[in-house]
Amino acid sequence: MEKRRIVITGMGPVTPLGMGKEKYLEGLMRCKSAVKLITHLDASKFSSRIAAMVQDFNPEEYMDKLYIKRGDRFLQFGIVASILAIKDSKLMESNIDKERIGVIIGSGIGGLKLFEEQHSIFLQTTKVSPYFIPMLITNMISGVVAIQHGFKGPNYAVSSACATSNHALATAFDFIKHGRADVVVAGGAEAAVTNMGIQGFAIMKAISFRNDAPEKASRPFDRDRDGFVMGEGAGVVVLEELEHAKKRGATIYAEMIGVGMSDDAYNMVAPCGDGDAAALCIQRCLKDASIQPADVDYINAHGTSTPDGDIAESNAIKKAFGEHYKRVMVSSTKSMIGHLLGAAGGVELIATILGMRKGVVFPTINIENQDPEIDLDVVPNELRKADVKIALSNSFGFGGHNCTIAIKKFE
């Protein structure tokens, strides 16, 4: 069978820097942190009281009140991001075969806020909402998007912690590549900045406790990093077979050319410090994309701002790139938007595409003293003009799940 090429024709970011690709780009271009003190709940009892929250989110502009009243916030984010991506792609304005359109949108945690609320009601009344289960399970974003648009192709959710979005995108890529679908709406959503979500990560000492300076808390690759900052939102894109996209006159933002996956097989939450398995993931991606390390201009790093994670990723990049590691630009947009967990890969792929099209690389902000063990070009603090033709996006999740995606400027 002739090799099917896969392109991105729609982007739907819902992020702490803005909703929609235009506002998200404006926020990224400012190179400022979206991290603030938590105000939507009483965080005074927690050791970590900071997060990057989606601002001015009004789901009523996009969706039925049923999903607003009864659905968890992660579900709302995912649906809105999908609507934005599909609208951006102009998919519904074309003569399309809806039986050939799939949806694969996941979440690392799912409906945590709804679970907490319903659990409280249950303890008092032994009752829960009849919508309790369907409105918090991770596959329901994909289900609702199909219902809204009549898409009857492959449809389910992926859940692999912080690698969720990349695994969803990789699965969609393979489905189109092997002819199981012509279009797949794919990505991830997360809304875990809740009482139990904050405390769950805090008790592990995984998140930052820099409450006195929230905007400086997310500092990947900096010597004084102390953990990641929780974020929320969704990142969804429309992946499409090239000839299908060209036939309907779609705008093509970039081409997805390869994926790589591996597992650390090491620890439930800690990355393997030597970076061997993550390097294997990157190498598999390069092989799948039929490119060499010297071909890659930029890597949007997983770069969470955890002491061990950043070292492990740095080691992985060095091993995968060999002598080329010092010339490839590596930055973490998590320094601006925090860690969106299961949604991270989606919003980071969109950021990579936006930068590629704008002719810039977004920086790693809050670099005051770069960790001497991380001697990468981390694009510190300032926007850099660059003609990025090929880029990678890394996502590594609890459980040792690794997934890397390769994209190229569309020619």
Q: What is the pLDDT of residues 216-248, one digit of tens each?
A: 999 999 999 999 999 999 999 999 999 999 999
Structure tokens at 240: 């499409």
Catalytic residues: 162, 302, 339
3-state SS track over the chain: CCCCCEEEEEEEEEECCEEHHHHHHHHHHHCCCCEEECCCCCCCCCCCCEEECCCCCCHHHCCCHHHHHHCCHHHHHHHHHHHHHHHHHCHHHCCCCHHHEEEEEECCCCCHHHHHHHHHHHHHHCCCCCCCCCCCCCCHHHHHHHHHHCCCCCEECCCECECHHHHHHHHHHHHHHCCCCCEEEEEEEECCCCHHHHHHHHHCCCECCCCCCHHHCCCCCECCCCCECEECEEEEEEEEEHHHHHHCCCCCCEEEEEEEEEECCCCCCCCCCCCHHHHHHHHHHHHHHCCCHHHCCEEECCCCCCHHHHHHHHHHHHHHHHHHCCCCEEECCHHHHCECHHHHHHHHHHHHHHHHHHCEECCECCCCCECCCCCCECCECCCEECCCCEEEEEEEECCCEEEEEEEECCC
Going by CATH, does the domain composed of 257-408 fall within 3.40.47.10? Answer: yes
Q: Average pLDDT, stretch 153-181?
A: 98
pLDDT of residue 173: 98
Q: Residues 378-406: what's their mean pLDDT?
A: 98
Q: State the pairing for strand pair 390-397/298-300.
A: parallel
What's the pLDDT at 70?
A: 82
* Structure confidence by residue, pLDDT tens digits, 323-373: 999 999 999 999 999 999 999 999 999 999 999 999 999 999 999 999 999
The answer to whether residue 411 scores a pLDDT higher than 90 is no
- pLDDT value, residue 64: 82
Question: Can you tell me the distance from the alpha carbon of 405 to that of 359, in angstroms, rounded to the nearest whole number?
Answer: 20
Question: Could you identify the residue written with the tokens 């009549």?
Answer: 150
The answer on pLDDT for 395 being more than 90 is yes
On the question of pLDDT at 1 being above 70, the answer is no
283-309 average pLDDT score: 98
What is the C-alpha to C-alpha distance for residues 226 and 308, in angstroms, rounded to an integer?
A: 10
> CB-hemisphere CA count at 13 Å for 46?
28
What residues does 181 pair with on adjacent strands?
none
In CATH terms, the fold of domain 6-247 is: Peroxisomal Thiolase; Chain A, domain 1 (3.40.47)
Measure the CA dihedral 367/370/371/375, to 10°.
130
How does pLDDT run across 80-115, given as a tens digit for each residue?
Answer: 999 999 999 999 999 999 999 999 999 999 999 999
Q: Is 392 left (phi over 0), alpha (psi -120 to 50) or beta?
A: beta
Residues of the chain with CATH 3.40.47.10: 6-247, 257-408
Residue 2 has pLDDT above 80, yes or no: no
pLDDT tens string 18-74:
999 999 999 999 999 999 999 999 999 999 999 999 998 999 988 888 778 888 999
pLDDT for the residue 14 = 98
Strands 360-361 and 384-385: antiparallel
pLDDT higher than 80, residue 374: yes
Counting residues of the chain whose pLDDT is more than 90, the rounded percentage is 95
Residue 371 CB neighbour total at 10 angstroms: 20
pLDDT of residue 66: 78
Q: What mean pLDDT is reported for the chain?
A: 97
What is the average per-residue pLDDT within 118-143? Answer: 95
pLDDT at 194 over 60: yes
CA dist 84 to 68, 77, 92, 130, 187, Å?
A: 17, 11, 12, 29, 12
Q: Give CA separation, 81 vs 18, 84, 287, 398, in Å.
A: 12, 5, 31, 24
129-142 average pLDDT score: 94
Question: In this predicted structure, what is the pLDDT of residue 367?
Answer: 98
Structure tokens at 383: 């926007």
